[in-house]
Amino acid sequence: MIKVIIGTRAELIKMIPLIIECKDLEYEVLFTGQHDVDYILEKFDIKDKINYKYIIKPRKGFELNTREAIRFGIKTSFIIKNTLNKDDIIIVHGDTIATFSGSFAGFLKRIKTVHIEAGLRSWDPFEPFPEEIIRNIADYFSNILFPVSKASYINIKKQFPWKKDIYNVGNTINDSALLAYNLGKDINIPDEEYGLISIHRHENLKSKLRMAKIIKIIAETSKKIKLIMPLYDNTKKALEKYELLKYLENNKNIEIINPTDYITFIRYLSKSRILLTDGGSIQEESIIFRIPSILLRMKTERTEGLYTGINYLSKLNIKETMKKINEFLEERYNKNYENPYGKPGVSKKIIKIIKKYYL
C-alpha cells in the first residue's frame, strides 16, 4: 500500500492532485494533526472521494517551540511506523514536521520512501528554520527523490552523489494552482489595479528591525499602487508588539482583509499587479501566474525563481528594493521566461514513476 503522510494545509494543497492520481492504486492518506485540513478537503470537493484518516487528532492553535517540535516529530514517526508493512511505499512532501516524521518512519522500517519537493536549499540552517534542516534530513532518509527543478536536482547530486533514483519532472504546484484557479473563477475581486501582500515568516516576525523595514517597503509601495493584505494572526501579534500595525491601518491605500482560503488567495494572486511576500511556495505560484514578486527575506531556497527575473530577493534593502518595485510596475516589464517548475501534469508523471516501484 502507498501511505501518503500529510501534516499541514500547505502540504495537502500541493499534494491533492497527486492524491487524486492515486485513485487506481491501493493507498491511504495519513494526517498527523499538525493542521485540521477538513475544510480544504471540502473546498476541493474531495472529502468523500479519497481514502484518509487522522492518526493524531488535530488541535486548534497548534504551535510548538523547537524542543516540543522535535518530540512531536519523533513521537509521530513511531506512530506512523506502526501503521507500515514491509511492502508499503511511504510518500512525504516538502519540509514540515510531518515530512521529518514520515521519512524517518520509512527509514526505520527500511521501506521505499519518496520525498516530493526534494532538493530545495538555502544552505543556511536558520533561513528558514527548521524547514532547511528538515529538507536535508528528508532527502537523506528517502531513497526516491523528486526535485522540483534543475537547480534542486543539482543540489541533490552535489550533496548525495550516491543516490540514483532522482526524477526531475517538475513541481506539483503547477497542478494545484491550476486546479484552484479553475475552482475560483467566479470569486469576486477588485476591478482596480492592486498589489498583494503576504507576510508570516517566523524569521521576520521575531525581529522588530526586519518588520520595520518590511513596513517601510510596504508603505512606500502603497504610494504607487493600492495594496491588499490578508493579515494572519501571528503577523498581527508581531505588528502589535512592535507598535507597527497602526502604519498599515492608517494607510488609506492599504486594504487589510481576513486570511482567505487557498482558492480565493490564488484568485487574488492571479489578478494582482505585484506581490510582496516572505513566503515559500507563493514564490512558485507567482512564477506560474507571471506576477512580479518581491521576496521580503534574506535568503531563498527557491533560487531558480530568481533567474526568471520575476522574483527579486530584497534582503530587506529598502533603497534597492524600491528601485526594483518601480521597474516591476512599468508597463513595459518583460515577463517572458520558461517556468523552471515545468508544466501542469506533474502529479500524473510522479505516480507513473512510483508505480514502477510499487507494482
Superfamily of domain 183-328: Glycogen Phosphorylase B; (3.40.50.2000)
Cell of 166: 532522482
- Give the start-end residues of each E strand in the chain: 2-6, 27-31, 52-54, 89-93, 112-118, 144-147, 194-198, 226-230, 254-257, 274-277, 293-295, 311-313
Q: What's the pTM value of the predicted model, to 2 decimals?
A: 0.92
For each of the chain's 359 residues, which pLDDT tens digit applies?
999 999 999 999 999 999 999 999 999 999 998 888 999 999 999 998 899 999 998 876 667 777 888 899 999 999 999 999 999 999 999 999 999 999 999 999 999 999 999 999 999 998 888 999 999 999 999 999 999 999 999 999 999 999 999 999 999 999 999 999 999 999 999 999 999 999 999 999 999 999 999 999 999 999 999 999 999 999 999 999 999 999 999 999 999 999 999 999 999 999 999 999 999 999 999 999 999 999 999 999 999 999 999 999 999 999 999 999 999 998 777 778 999 999 999 999 999 999 998 76
| Cβ pair 166, 147 in contact under 8 A | yes
Cβ 28 vs Cβ 6: under 8 Å: no
- Note whether 2-171+343-358 and 183-328 share their fold: yes
Q: What are the residue ranges spanned by the domains of the chain?
A: 2-171+343-358, 183-328
**What CATH number was assigned to the domain covering residues 2-171+343-358?**
3.40.50.2000
